[in-house]
Structure 1
Amino acid sequence: MHNPNQQNIEKHKAYFAHLKKKGVTTTSYSCPACDFSIETAANTTDSATDSAVTCPSCENLHLKVLLPNGGEIKISRI
């Protein structure tokens, strides 16, 4: 088991609390390495979006693909 990075986790939570206050819709998924619940802005567009993401807990780098219109989230280890 890894030692969670508490400082990163708190920054992650604060950032998404700020976004939610601004009305941003969020969703979450599990880190492929440690199962930490990672919050992300929902994809409300008509196109898929992708990005490389670092888990705030274990710092694992992975690829996140958000399918269009709030669809499925696909995760791949890099």
Structure 2
Amino acid sequence: MALSRHSIEDLIDLVEIKVSAMEIHNRDDAVELESLAATWSELITQLADRKAARDGLSVVMFEPPSHARDRAVA
């Protein structure tokens, strides 16, 4: 069963909220942040794919939110 557009948008919002609330203290936190950034990217791509299919356009890849990349621990 495919997710509805509304469900995908809700999941994107939840991922963004979790990322913005995260405090990176150790490697496990950094790994979780990277996982959330990948999840965000996949959800955005699914949303773009749906819109592109509806409009007959090609899909453009998106970058993870800048606050997710900036907060990663080296």
Query: TM-score, normalization: structure 2?
Result: 0.30
Query: TM-score, normalization: structure 1?
Result: 0.29
Q: Which has the higher helix share?
A: 2
